[in-house]
Amino acid sequence: MTGGLFTFGETMGLVAADTIGPLAYAKGFSFGIGGAESNVAVGVARLGGESCWLGRVGPDATGTLIKGRLEAAGVRTIALADEAFTGLMVRHRRSGQFAHVDYHRSGSAGSRLTPADIPAHELREAGIVHVTGITPALSETCRSAVFQAVETAITAGVPVSIDINYRAKLWSRFDAAPVLRDLVALADIVFASPDEAALFVDADDLLGGLAKLGPAEVILKDGGHGCVAQINGERHTVPALPVTVVDPVGAGDAFVAGYLADRLAGATPGQCLTTAIATGAFAVTVPGDCEGAPDRAELIALTGGDLRR
């Protein structure tokens, strides 16, 4: 690929309760897929951009489903066959506001990713290489793959994007902080929630603290409060769009997809942020991780036509 998004990581099967309340009282379940990196790849593709996702999948129906779903969404998919099982997550919403996720991924195919799995030419030909803080938490080989990929992209002059995406169930704050800090110091574009940024920078100056580590584009995602950003030294603040929340899961990945899709298309920073806010808002109005990722026409409908590119 030339000029598009390249990303990699673990995508899992997703078992989700269809109703809100304790898991024991769920009346039915749906089965889909979910993974931060592939969610972003789907979001970029839906917005008209080129995207590629790479990851390991097992010799099972879940691995086949992941490949098929991503390809159907327009994502160029490099699904590497592995003898281990494809990971699973089980999610239910204890209330309308809080979601609970259990992971079944220790020793999974996705956790066995290695630096040798990622072709250097894919990194060199990409428009942006996007990674998350989830992949380095999965295993030592995954961590090595992330850092090697980032360094290869940097050497080739390809912008690197990272979404902190801290997962407390995967590693402690103590273990995560130095690794995430090192990744941010290498990146050109950084996405984080305020809590994630506070893992390793001063909470009194989150934007400035992240920017001092090196990235030119720092974006703080803050849910219903919108976002604030420091891009090439200029500060931006964009409020959230008022929408009815159906399912908050996947909003952060949709936000990232909106920003990166517009950046790949050559939009201004303000336009990238406006699209990011709109894609994040659209995501919470539909259930699922990436199934409801919007296209351009749907974003225009959501914003009443006020979406300037």
Active site (catalytic) residues: 253
CA distance linking residue 72 with residue 60, whole number of Å: 19
**Alpha-carbon span 291 to 269, nearest angstrom:** 27
What is d(CA 284, CA 260) in angstroms, rounded to the nearest whole number? 19
| Beta-carbon-side half-sphere exposure of residue 82 (alpha carbons within 13 Å) | 24
Find the DSSP H helices in the chain: 36-46, 61-72, 120-125, 135-138, 140-155, 173-186, 194-197, 206-212, 251-264, 269-283, 296-303
CA–CA separation, 35 and 40 (whole Å): 9
Tokens 């929340």 belong to 245
Q: At what angle do helices 251-264 and 269-283 cross, to 10 degrees?
A: 150
